[in-house]
Amino acid sequence: MSIAALTEADDGPRSKRPAILAAAVECFGEVGFEATKWSEVADRVGIGQPALYHYFESKTHCLLTIMRLGLRNSDDAFRAAVAESGTAHDALRAAVRAAFEISPQEVQQNRILQSNIALLAGRRSSEREEAERQACRKLVARIERNWADLVQHGIDRGEFARHDPLIMARSLLGLVVSVWRWYRPDGSMELPSIAEFIGGCCARMVGDGAPE
């Protein structure tokens, strides 16, 4: 269980927050968010409900935090991957590879994120939930912008065909995240092969530029 992916800068060494998030990822991944009992999360961490409520005011608050951290990790991984790339095609391949070079816990986190993404559409009445929702929405917009910038860069270099960069970015992202709907760790295709397959699809989608 990788705790780093669920840790934040202001979590002290004695904070139970990352452990609660890890247990919640397990539970939501196993039986879904709706069917998970909040008390089950406390039991797995070995804490009481009051301690749980010290960190999260509700199961939804915990879910939104998991979603935000998943988005934060995707954003970080994208930036690290493209920073080292030369051509736009290299950057695109590296970005897709980074999306799939993740731990089983992060796979669960991504599945939870995609399954509950509709939660980001509607305003929350709780202030802390609403703060997490707003942070998630900002990250979604930033990730779309990352990919759109990459597409624009490829067009400017004459590597990619001319398409609306934002619509192309959303389409590339839509394809990448669609994997979390059908991928299973015990399935017939492993993550490196999936990354290779999806990377090829993305490379063909952006098309060939016509340098002058």
Q: Which stretches of the chain bind a second copy, using CB under 8 A?
A: 31-32, 34-35, 115-118, 121-122, 163-164, 167, 170-171, 173-175, 177-179, 181-182, 189, 194, 197-198, 201, 204-205, 207
Q: Which is nearer to a second copy, 19 or 179 (CB)?
A: 179
Least spacing, CB of residue 10 vs a second copy, in Å: 31
Least spacing, CB of residue 142 vs a second copy, in Å: 15
Distance CA 179, CA 200 (A): 14
Least spacing, CB of residue 36 vs a second copy, in Å: 11
- The one-letter code for the residue type at 185 is P
Q: Which is nearer to a second copy, 14 or 181 (CB)?
A: 181
Q: Which is nearer to a second copy, 19 or 71 (CB)?
A: 71
Beta carbons within 8 Å of 144's beta carbon, 6+ residues apart: 166, 169, 170, 173
Inter-residue long-range contacts of 14-22, CB under 8 Å, 24+ positions, other chains counted: 15/55, 16/45, 16/47, 16/51, 16/55, 17/55, 19/45, 20/45, 20/47, 20/52, 20/55, 20/56, 20/62, 21/62, 21/65, 21/66, 21/69, 22/105
Cα distance between the two ends of the chain: 51
Q: Which is nearer to a second copy, 19 or 206 (CB)?
A: 206
Q: Which is nearer to a second copy, 1 or 167 (CB)?
A: 167
Least spacing, CB of residue 31 vs a second copy, in Å: 7
- The one-letter code for the residue type at 209 is G
Least spacing, CB of residue 66 vs a second copy, in Å: 14
